[in-house]
Every structure is written in structure tokens, then in C-alpha cells.
Structure 1
Amino acid sequence: MDTQREVWSARSVFILAAIGSAVGLGNIWRFPYVAYTNGGGAFIIPYLIALLTAGIPLLFFDYAIGHKFRGSPPLAFRRISRWAESLGWWQVGICFVIAVYYAVIIAWAARYAIFSLGEAWGDDPEAFLFGNFLQQEDTARVGFDLVPGVAITLLLIWIATLVVLAFGVQRGIGASAKIFVPLLVVLFLALVIRSLFLDGAAEGLTAFFQPDWSILTNATVWIAAYGQIFFSLSIAFGIMITYASYLKLKTNMTSSGLVVAFSNSSFEILAGIGVFAALGYMAAVAAVPVDEVVSGGIGLAFIAFPQIISAMPGGPLFGFVFFACLVAAGFTSLISIVQVVIAAVQDKMRISRLASVALVGGSMTIVSMALFPTTTGVGVLDVVDKFVNNIGIVGVAFAAIVATIWFLRRGPEFVEHLNSVSSFHIGIIWRLCIGVATPIVLGYMLVSEMITLVDEGYGGYPTDFVAGLGWAVQIALIVLALALSLLPWRQGTDLTPPKHHEFVNPGGHR
């Protein structure tokens, strides 16, 4: 095995970094909206079932691969089987695509933290966002006219990200997680507490938690729950494989996974409380029902919340804290996404971390700067994000499980490894979840989403626009993954699986 591989200094640092990766923009602006539109308080039931039957099993699946086979996704899958390497490169490609657009949303949030102090959006936050700030064209196309205010901030985000990554796993990623994750929790708790004391907060929370039990018989609600878990836990596209590969050989894996999974879900519920308390205030001020002010995604963060900030006492400070939370959550997630690509290049080419950061980071920065801080960037981002999440991540998760669990039959080996180093043991229930329940749900999600996108298109965009940025990009990622898997590894790379005795825990967890 590679004796020079970097390691986390302690399990607690890994847990913080994993939480930092999992807790991202989607926890704050996606979960509250998804929960509200899928039964409110009743949604918690399918959400928790999805967490237990798919989220945690997939997290353990990633941990087993990363920790046992000690490599980035391509190297770890290559050590499992020669023909499985392409799965790892598929995950790397997905991370590349996500990173180049995810960074620009962090740049928007950073600018809005400053805008909040003077309520720069005035009386019409939507017109300010798309007109004054992003300067978006009405035409759906790929243009290269930069918007300086966005481009400069995006460049600074990339510089900060690559500086952190250049310092390595422990001094860079680990150190930043120890700063940003606690900071995020403190800031968001302050935000939630302030929201709870706003007029109308109780009505907002009632709208959020009031259960609609009848909706539990609706299959789309259950798919929404599984989708939220897949998209929010940083599972199935290489991050947790990469992070687990830096753990010491004798590390309690399953207990770490439980801490990460439940911390992520706790933050999502906390986000729902804070967001809906604030939306309740907005509804009270506008004298309309809560359902008329509910939104998700970009609309929630950059249109609804500026309206709340302008209306509430102490709004500028509240706004600054809210957007600072978005920056902190997004930044730790971006670091983890880029690290997957850096680790893969570093492993395949056997080059130094600094060289890999420069090569990968430079490429990502160029693509990101060319496509997204432009007058056509929002449409490009919207389509790319839709396809990489709903087709790319779901597709590679399904393929990885089918390949390793069904065809290669490595499930018992993964169980044995995790149990040999962990205090919380897994067995037949995990194998049923990862081998039956999870692939069935993933397969259904993938097929139904593909049918919908083929039949209906997406977002009212022109067919060629969706085909080029959506379908073509996803097909290209698969073709590129296959091509990269055919390239030889640098001489000296150990492609053999680890010896079993390397992982035996003297504590007797067998």
C-alpha cells in the first residue's frame, strides 16, 4: 500500500470535515422547501426511513471502499477490480462539474453578505438579482460576457479554496473544518434564535411542521425523501471515499458515519425551523398566508430573504449572518468536492499535492470563470445542476452498487472490514439495504427522471440548450471516465488490494 498517503490527525477532524462536506447550500435552501411541499411534519417519517435504509448504508458503503482500499475513487475502485476503475473516474468527473458552478453560488452569497448591510437590492430584490447584480440576458445560450462584480468575487473564492487545499489534508482541509464548521453552527443558531422571536414565527413553524398524513401514500413523497438524503449527505460521488482513505488503519468507521449522518439531518431540521420562522414573519408583514411566500433554492436565498431583511428590525445584521452561513456551508463543501479531483490526479499521475492542486485548480478556475460569472451564467448553471444531480449522481450511485455488490459480490468483504475496525457492527440488514432497497430506489429515480426530462424537457429551455448542457455533458463524463480508466498508472503505483491483516483491530471487534 501507499505508505506516504496523508492521514487525518484524529477521527474528530475527519468527522468535522465530513460534516462540513455534507452540510452545504442544499441543507439551508433545499430541505425546508422539500419538506414543506411533501407533507410538512409528516415528511419527517419517510425522511428518517430514507436516512436509515439508504443514506447511512450508502455512507458506510463509501467508507468501506475508501478506508479498505486506501485511495481516491479511481484507485480504490481499481483495487477492487480492473474494470471498476471507470466508476471512480465517473465520480471524479461529476465532482469537476459540480465544483465549477457551485463556486459561483458561494460568490453570490459573499456579495450578498455585503449587500445586506446597506440593503442594496432596494424595493425589488428579484429585479436587483437578475438585472443589476447578475445582468442576465433573456436568451438561453452560452455566452462569455463577464459580469465583473461576480467574476472578481468568484476568482477570490477559487484562490481561497486552492490555498486551503494546497496545505494538505490535515493542515488545510482539517484546519479549515475546525474553523468553519463550529462557526457555521454558532452563526446559524444565532439566526434561528432571532427568527423564533419574529412576529409570525409561530405561523411559519406551524406551516412547516403541520403534518399531512394522507400524503404518505404518495410515491413521489418517498422519492423526494430519498432524493433529499442522496443530495445532502455527500454520498455516492467520491467525497466520502476520498475522505475515508485518509483515516488511520484502525478507526471506528460506523460510529463516525452515524455521527456525520445524524449531524447533517439535525442541521437540516434546524435550517427548516429558522427558514420557516423567517418566512412566517414575511407572511405576517405582507398579510398573506405562509404558502404564498414559500420558495426554495435561489429564490429563497436571494429574493425571499432580502425581502425579509428589508422588513425586519435589525435586518442588515440578520442578512449578513444568513449569507455568511451560506458562504461557510458552501466553502467547506466546495473544498471536499475539489479534493476528490485533486486526489484522483495525484494518485494516477503520482505527482505532488502542489502540482495536483495547480493542475486541477487551474483547470477548474478557468472553466468556472469562463461559463458562470457571465450574462448567461444562470441558465447554464440551472441546466448543468439539474442533470448532474438527478442523472449523474443517481446514475453513478446505482452503477457502483450494481457493480460491486451484485456482480463482484464484495458486500461480505465490506461488512467484514467495517466490523473489524468498528464498535457498531453491521450485517444482514445493511446488506439488504445496500443490495436491495437502495438500488431499487435509485433505479426508479433514475428511470423516472430520464423519462420526464425526455418527454417534457427542462425549465422551458430550448431543446438544443438542454441537450448540449444536460444530456451531452453526462454522456461525455461516462465516455471520459472509460477513456481515463484505459490510461496506464504511473510506474510504482500499487494496484493490489490491501492485506486483510493490515486492518485487524487488536481490540477484537471481529
Structure 2
Amino acid sequence: MQAADKESKILTSERSSWDKPVEFVLSCLGYAVGLGNVWRFPYLCYRNGGGAFLVTYFIMLFLMGMPIFLLELVIGQYSGLGPEQAFTKLAPILSGLGYCSLVVITLVTVYYMVIIAWTVFYFFASFTSELGYGSCHNDFNTIVFSGLVSCFSATEDDKCKPMELYYNKTCMLVDVLCKSKHYEGALNKTFCYATDESAVPVYKVVNRTLATAEYFRDYVLGVRDADWYNFGSISWALFGCLLLSWIIGYLCVIRGVKTSGKAAYFTALFPYVILTALVVQGCILEGAVDGILVYITPKWGMLLDVDVWAQAASQTFYSFGISCGSLITLASYNTFNNNCLKDAIIVTAANAFTSIYAGFAIFGMLGFLAKQMGVPVDAVAQDGPGLAFVIYPEAILRLPAPIFWSIAFFFMLFILGLGSQFAGVEAVSCLIMDKWPKTRHYQAYLTLGICLGCFLLAIPMCFGGGVYIFTLLEWNTASWAILLIGFTEVVAVSWCYGCHRFMDNMASMDMTMGKVAKWYWWACWAVITPFTLLGVFAFQMSNFSRTSYEGYDFPIWADMLGWMIGISTLAPLFIFGGISLWHGKYSGWKWFQPTSEWKPQNGKTESRLTLDNNQLIESIHI
């Protein structure tokens, strides 16, 4: 017992802590609010019933997102430990669960910084007299040859005469263009007509691709003809952007929460300034109302679609960054009596608000772009990198002062992405420092090693075929595997440790709640949340599809590699659990019971519930 107390004191005596409680809240907000709020949620809302999707989203937020979010904060704050040490002491059989989170957050940190490097690339490319991504007069742009796609530039099209259209790097009469495609002629600049007097939009007649799409695919990424068997050459410009991104990230986390907490004031709050400017600008443009109506108009019939509910559950889970160990890590630096229940409510509410708010900036601009191009909003709506690096830049080109808006937009994306990275690096360093406390004396060097390692792992994604590695990691890391990690976390707390015991720990940290609130948390942790996670996992498995990127289906061996990556995130749970069983330190239910080392951080207070490792798992009741 004395040895355990000594180890606990070593683990906690030199641990850092937040200088102010608000730094923890802002760090959680910066971690949760990221690029997905801008480029994923608005599109999901539009594709899954508009305003009706918000109903499913908020239901899943209350039944799954917030309960797991709070659960992880309480584990971290109560124990004052990172995920590896916390779960090992909570239930010895789960000694590998923290390592599962470590593998996930490491891989996510590696590929997520590549996205940030893309934003840095665009940010610097915006400091020019004419935005390069709007031009078709580059070596990498396509021309029409044997039916291939032609590059289309809105900037160049504006220079053409009223009845001309920019096509194949020149201005061509629309009438001539329509006839070359076997139509009778042109009604105006936007329609070709056939012999039966039917009209077809010009954009459906000509085979064109946006200049912004070619810029991103062929210049920034350097894909061109690259595939899994021909990775192409490295983009030194992208390599430099990746290096710069990691240098900035390292400087922000060099002293752990002491520096990242200060950086969070800017990374968590400043994006709202630019986002508000984009919302205002987007809403006053011609066609913006059409885009916003597409975004928010409810399609109530879609509430009967199981896929809509599964999408809402998935978005809720992924948007908060749960099951990656980062939230447990951030909360472990709190003071013992911090009200993390209040913090959880604030962060989840702010995250949901940001997602909805960003949708007005996105769809206001998409409505404007659709109006400018003479196409329906459906034709320009995308999610993911395609929205941020192709469609939105295309809309920016058509704005007054496009250079200013380009700089502002990509700077916002950079800050949003950077703020989400802090917690990932903290989680890895926390695990190492908790495991080997003496490394805390060399925190700056340890953090440097982590950043350098992640940077080196990301270098292959700077090659022409690097986007395929990126896609493989994105599809198989922060996806189905973390659903199972989240399920294990919730089951460990609610079914093994016990909801009563867990709520008693919360009460010992001065977090009080009424009877209704207790029923709500108990129902979620014990029943609703775990079974919802299993349902979403089953749905994802039943809708499994081959990994692909822009129509290119990955080879079977690449798909198998992706599955191995996903499985590797779960492997530590079984490996370390098996090792623990082999050593046979415990027996029976003791493997699922908290050890004598599971106690309040720093011994500042004692739990009101005495833990007896000899007792059976307590029944879950209120």
C-alpha cells in the first residue's frame, strides 16, 4: 500500500495544471471545433433532411455525444492521470485501452496536420495580385483532346463577350459550342437547344472541370497520374508547409498546457471573428437565400430513414473527438474541484452552435456560386476537402476583394486545424510522462520528439500519391475502430465500475445534480449510449464500401492494409489485457474492479464511497 501511495505521489507531484479554468474550456473547445464543423456538418445537414437533420443530431448529442464527453472529463479530472494509467487503475483488464487511444490519436495527428499544411499552402498562395487557383493558363491545366475534360476559369470567362463562353483556354461563341456538340444552337449563354426544341443547360453539354479543382488535385496534391504503384515525386512546397505547420504547433505546446492554454485564447476564439465575417458576406450575396433555404428547409419524411439517424450519430461521435484519449488528458490537468459537468455542457453546446452557424457561411456562398454558374445548389454542394479547397475557393473568386477573402478563409481553416492538434500532442506526451514520470523534466525535448516523429510519418503524404495514404488513414483510423473504443470505455464505467460509484466520484468533486439529471446520466451511460454505439458500428459494417478517391478504387491489398490499420488501433486492448492475464496478478472479477491505486488525484479529498476490491461488480440501479 505504501508503494502504491509513493507511486501515486510521484505521478502527480510534478504534474502541470491549467493556470486558469477558462484555459481548459477553451482548449476543449479548440479541440472539438475543427475543420469538420466547417466542411462536414453543413453538408450532412443538407443531404439528410435539412432542418429535420438537426432534430436527429440534437437527440444523438444528448443521448451519446454529451454522455461520453462528460465521462471522459470525469475520468481524467478525478484520477489526475492520462488514459493509460487511468484505465489500468480503473480496471486492470483494460490496461491496453489507453494505448488504443494513443494509436488512434497518433495516426489522426499525423494525417490531420497534412490538411493544415494544405491550408498553409493556400494561405501563402493568396498573397498575389491574381489568385493562381482561378487560372487555366498553367502547365498542369487540361485542354480538350479526344474528349478529355477542359479546364474552366470563372475569371477568364468574365473576360469573354456576352454570347461567348470560356472553353478550352479560349473564348468561344456559345452557339458554335452547342453545334459542335450536335445541338441546333444556343438560346442564350446558358442553354443549348435540340431539334425537338428541348433546352439543355450548357454545363451539361460541355465536359469541364473547375480551375480550382485542377489546382488542388494536380498542383497542390500533385496527383495527376499517380496511383498506388506510381507515387510520383515529392512536392517540396507542400513539404515546407508541413514543416512550418509542425514548427508552429511545437511552439504552441512546447511547455504542455502552460503554453497551449495560452495559445487556446487565440485558436479557440479568433476563428469566430472570420466565420462571422463570412456569414455576413455570404448572406448578402445574390442567390445566398436559395442556398440557405436548401440548408435549413426541413424534409420531415427523412426522419424515418435509418441512414439519417446513423449519420447524425456518427457526426455527433466524431465531431467531439471522443475515444481518442485527448479529453481525458486535458481534464487530468484540472484542479480536483473543477466543475467539468458545466464545462462539458458549455463545450458541447458551443460545438453544436458552431456547426450550425458555419452552415450559413457555407451555403450562403454555395447559393451565390450556383446562381453565378447557372446551376442548382445540388451541383456545387460537396463535403470534405472538396468543399474547402475547390468549391469555396471558386466562390471566393467571384467576390469583391477575392484576395482578402481567400487569405481570411484559409487563415481561419489553419487556426481551426491547429487548435485541434494541441490535444493530440498532449495526449501522447501525457501517456509517456505518466508512465515514466522522470521524463517530465525533459518535456520540451519529449514534445519535440513527438512532433518530429509525426512530421516524418507524414512526409509520404507530400508525394503525388500521398493523398491515397491520407484517404486510407482517414477511412480506417477515426472511424469504426473508435466506436468500439468508446463502447469499451462506457461499459467499463457503467457496467463494471458502476454508475453509482462514478456519480459518487463526481459528487466528491463538488458536482451536484438533481434526481432527474442522475436518471438521465445513468440511462445514457448504462443503456442508451453503449447500445447506440453498437448500432452505429453495425450500420457502418453493413454499409462497408471499398476505399476510393475521386473514382479511383484502391487495390484490394491497400484495402486490406487499411483494415490492418483499423485493427491495430484495437490490438493493444487484447495484447496488454492478455499480458496482464498471463502474469495472473488478479483473479475473477478483480480484473474488472478498480485497484487500490484508483483514487482522487493528489489525495486532495477522499471519495465518499469506500472501494472494496473484494466485492462483486455492483448492480446498476438508482
Using the size of structure 1 for normalisation, the TM-score is 0.92
Q: Which moved more, 1:359-368 or 1:295-304?
A: 359-368
Is 2:310 the counterpart of 1:226?
no
- Letter paired with 1:256: D
One-letter identity of the residue aligned with 1:404: V
Return the match for 1:359 from 449, 461, 475: 449
In the alignment, residue 86 of structure 2 is paired with which amino acid?
Answer: A
- 1:390 paired with 2:479, answer yes
3-state SS of 1:431 partner: helix
Say whether 1:496 aligns with 2:597: yes
Distance in 1 (CA, whole Å) between partners of 2:331 and 2:312 is 26
Amino acid across the alignment from 1:33 = Y
Shift of 1:337: 1.4
Match in the other structure for 1:155: 243
Query: Does residue 464 in structure 1 map to residue 557 in structure 2?
Result: yes
Larger helix percent: 1
Partner of 1:479: 571
Q: Describe the shift of the 1:290–1:412 C-alpha distance in structure 2 as closer, same or farther (beyond 3 A).
A: same
1:143 CA displacement: 4.1
Q: CA deviation at 1:344?
A: 0.7
Further displaced range: 33-42 or 5-14: 5-14
Note the C-alpha offset of 1:303: 0.6
Structure 1 CA distance for aligned equivalents of residues 32 and 596 of structure 2:
29
CA contact (8 A) 2:100 2:569 kept: yes
Q: Report the CA distance shift for 1:197/1:40 in structure 2 as closer, same or farther (over 3 A).
A: same
1:21-420 alignment, distance < 5 Å? 21-117=31-127, 118-121=130-133, 122=135, 123=153, 124-136=211-223, 137-141=225-229, 143=231, 145-170=233-258, 172-350=259-437, 351-352=439-440, 353-369=443-459, 371-406=460-495, 408-420=496-508
Please state whether the residue corresponding to 2:234 is helix, strand or coil. Answer: coil
1:385, distance to aligned residue in structure 2 (A): 0.4
The 8 Å contact of residues 142 and 377 in structure 1, kept in 2 or not, is answered as no
CA contact (8 A) 1:239 1:340 kept: yes
Matched residues in 2 for 1:145 and 1:448: separation? Answer: 39
Residue 236 of structure 1 deviates from its aligned partner by: 1.9
Instruction: Identify the residue that residue 491 of structure 1 maps to in structure 2.
Output: none
Q: Give 1:258 shift.
A: 0.5
In structure 1, stretches of 5+ residues that fail to align are 488-493
The secondary structure found in structure 1 opposite 2:337 is coil
Please say if 1:439 is aligned against 2:530.
yes
Gapped runs of 5+ residues in structure 2? Answer: 1-7, 136-152, 154-210, 581-594, 609-622
The answer as to whether partners of 1:116 and 1:309 remain within 8 angstroms in 2 is: no
Determine the C-alpha separation between the residues in 2 that align with 1:359 and 1:160: 15
Deviation for aligned residue 1:256: 0.8
* 1:276 partner amino acid: F
CA distance in 2: counterparts of 1:63 and 1:413, whole angstroms: 16
Partner of 2:197: none
3-state SS of paired residue (2:38)? helix
Letter paired with 1:496 = E
Q: Aligned to 1:236, what secondary structure does the other structure show?
A: coil
Query: 2:49 touches 2:299 (CA, 8 Å); kept in 1?
Result: yes
Tell me: CA distance 1:49–1:282, structure 2 relative to 1, closer, same or farther (3 Å): same
- Tell me the distance in 1 between the aligned counterparts of 2:372 and 2:396: 12
Deviation of the 1:14 alpha carbon: 0.6
Percent of aligned pairs with the same residue? 27
SS in 1 for 2:477: helix
Contact 1:93–1:481 (CA under 8 A) maintained in structure 2? no
Q: Which amino acid aligns with 1:228?
A: Q
Partner SS, residue 372 of structure 1: helix
Deviates more, 1:134-143 or 1:311-320: 134-143
Equivalents in 2 of 1:55, 1:141: separation in Å?
40
- Mark the CA change 1:482 to 1:155 in structure 2 (over 3 Å): closer, same or farther: farther
TM-score when scaled to structure 2?
0.76
> Structure 1 pair 78/206, CA: closer, same or farther in 2 (3 Å)?
same
- Equivalents in 2 of 1:338, 1:308: separation in Å? 35
Deviates more, 1:318-327 or 1:260-269: 318-327
1:392 Cα offset (Å): 2.1
**Shift of residue 166, structure 1, vs aligned partner:** 1.3
Instruction: Evaluate the alpha carbon distance shift between residue 347 and residue 439 of structure 1 in structure 2; reply closer, same or farther with a 3 A threshold.
Output: same
- Contact kept in structure 1, 2:110 and 2:454, CA below 8 Å: yes
Write the letter of the residue equivalent to 1:472. M
Distance 1:240 1:403, change over 3 A: same
Letter in structure 1 aligned against 2:556: T
Q: What's the offset of the Cα at 1:116?
A: 3.2
Query: Cα deviation per residue 1:422-458 (whole Å; 9 max; x = unaligned)?
Result: 25554121111122111112112222323433xx322
Q: CA deviation at 1:497?
A: 1.2
The one-character-per-residue Cα deviations of 1:433-487 (angstroms, maximum 9, x if unpaired) are 122111112112222323433xx3222221111111x111122233345556759
Query: Higher strand fraction: Structure 1 or Structure 2?
Result: 2
Structure 1 counterpart SS, 2:397: helix
Aligned partner of 2:539 in structure 1 is 448
Question: Displacement of 1:347 after TM fit?
Answer: 1.2
Shift of 1:317: 1.2
Distance 1:505 1:345, change over 3 A: closer
Q: Using a 3 Å threshold, how does the CA distance of structure 1 residues 484 and 111 change in structure 2: closer, same or farther?
A: farther
Deviation for aligned residue 1:505? 10
Separation in 1 of the partners of 2:298 and 2:356? Answer: 15
Q: Separation in 2 of the partners of 1:399 and 1:410?
A: 14
Counterpart CA distance in 2 for 1:182 and 1:49 is 27
Q: CA deviation at 1:409?
A: 3.2
Query: Which residue number in structure 1 is paired with residue 591 of structure 2?
Result: none
Aligned to 1:490: none
Q: List, as ranges, runs of 4+ consecutive aligned residues in structure 1 with deviation greater than 6 Å.
A: none
Structure 1 residue 203: Cα displacement:
0.7
Letter aligned with residue 536 of structure 2: M
Query: How far does residue 113 in structure 1 lie from its aligned partner after superposition?
Result: 1.9
Q: Deviations over 1:263-309 (max 9, x none)?
A: 11111111111100000100110111111110000110011011101
Letter in structure 2 aligned against 1:46: T
- How far 1:499 sits from its partner (Å)? 4.6
Q: Give the aligned CA root-mean-square deviation in angstroms.
A: 2.1
> Residue 281 of structure 1 contacts residue 308 of structure 1 at CA under 8 Å; is this kept in 2?
yes
2:518 match? 427
- Report the count of equivalent residues: 494
